Amino acid sequence: MTCAAAILGCAGAVLTPSEKAFFAEVRPWGFILFKRNVETPEQVRALVAELRRTVQRADAPVLIDQEGGRVQRLGPPHWRRYPPGRAYGRLASNDPLFRREITRLGARLLAHDLAALGINVDCVPVLDVPDPSGHEIIGDRAYAETPGEVACLGRAAAEGLIAGGVLPILKHIPGHGRARADSHLELPVVEASWDDLDARDFAPFKALSDMPMAMTAHVIYAAIDARRPATTSRSVMRRAIRGAIGFDGLLMSDDLSMKALAGGFQDRAEAAIAAGCDMVLHCNGDMAEMQAVVAGAGRLRGRALRRAQAALARLPKAVEPFDAAEGRARFDAAFEGGWAA
């Protein structure tokens, strides 16, 4: 049986009978966890295993947003806090190799935490290049203020995750840094020219175009499509994401329940798939919304299925040897005295 071209959330820390039945019927490609789904390590491991049992696939992707800083679904007392992306970019300003080393180490530690729970995808790295006039929704989540440094540290983070058996997701392609609104709440419009977008916003995504997965931005780029956000714009997909950036991995929407998008949930899913997304993401666990999303997304097939298979094939058969205690000590020494966002 084929999978639904969707990644779905669930409502709580355990699956309800209706969720189990629904997931078993529609078989989403993957799942995503949020703070509402997290209590203890034992509980998270059990939930992850149960999600995979519903779809009868031991390798079903289970995603989480574990960036560090403001965006960290797993936290104290059971999991350590990690710095926001910007803290890596501000380490030892005269030593870029050290910044890269510690960024990779931080991601390797994240992967160690996640793999112990059965979570095999992290929605990292953030490759958005911040703009002084942009909304703070990106802010200190960005590694640095230049495309080159964002690309360098973004690749370090992606490599650290993969080494630990966790797949990265590039976000928010083709770039959210100029947006002057929070797409969780409203639809941002970016007025920059194509040349400016290509030179700055697209650049980190070009540098990491070999990575297995990316997540779209719910942002209008007026120079490409003045009416539709990237997630539902065939022009942005073809000209920017698949064209100028050259990304040919699995492309998923950002969360369809964000207020930047309009219309019913079936319509949102249909529009994203029609525009060129391989997969849609729905996060809040609302059953009626999920049913509509699955109806709109359809089944995973053709080129999208091949991209999904290729993404999972990037998981290593064995993780890189790693002394977690030594790694944590080295990481803590790098941030001795805390971190500044």
What integer is the mean pLDDT of 58-65? Answer: 97
Amino acid at 29: W
Residue 244 tokens, joined: 């100028």
The model carries a pTM of: 0.96
Residue 49 tokens, joined: 């295993």
pLDDT of residue 209: 98
pLDDT of residue 260: 86
Closest alpha carbon to 203 in 232, 173, 160, 180:
173
Closest alpha carbon to 293 in 313, 310, 268, 316:
268
- Structural domain boundaries in the chain: 66-288+298-319
Closest alpha carbon to 249 in 227, 278, 229, 223:
278
pLDDT of residue 341 exceeding 60, the answer is no
Query: From the candidates 59, 95, 184, 332, which is the catalytic residue?
Result: 184
pLDDT of residue 208 exceeding 80, the answer is yes
pLDDT band at residue 249, thresholds of 50, 70 and 90?
Answer: very high
Strand 189-190 with 220-221, pairing: parallel
**282 catalytic residue (yes or no):** no
Q: How does DSSP assign 242-255, residue by residue?
A: IIIS---SEEEEEE
Residue 312 tokens, joined: 């999972």
Q: Is there a contact between 146 and 129 (Cβ–Cβ < 8 Å)?
A: yes
pLDDT of residue 255 exceeding 50, the answer is yes
Query: From the candidates 128, 201, 254, 255, which is the catalytic residue?
Result: 254
DSSP label at residue 145:
S
Residue 80 tokens, joined: 């350590």
pLDDT of residue 144: 95
**172 catalytic residue (yes or no):** no
pLDDT of residue 340: 54
66-288+298-319 CATH, one of 3.40.640.10, 3.20.20.300, 3.40.50.300, 3.90.1150.10 = 3.20.20.300
Reported as a single tens digit per residue, the pLDDT across 153-174 is 999 999 999 999 999 999 999 9
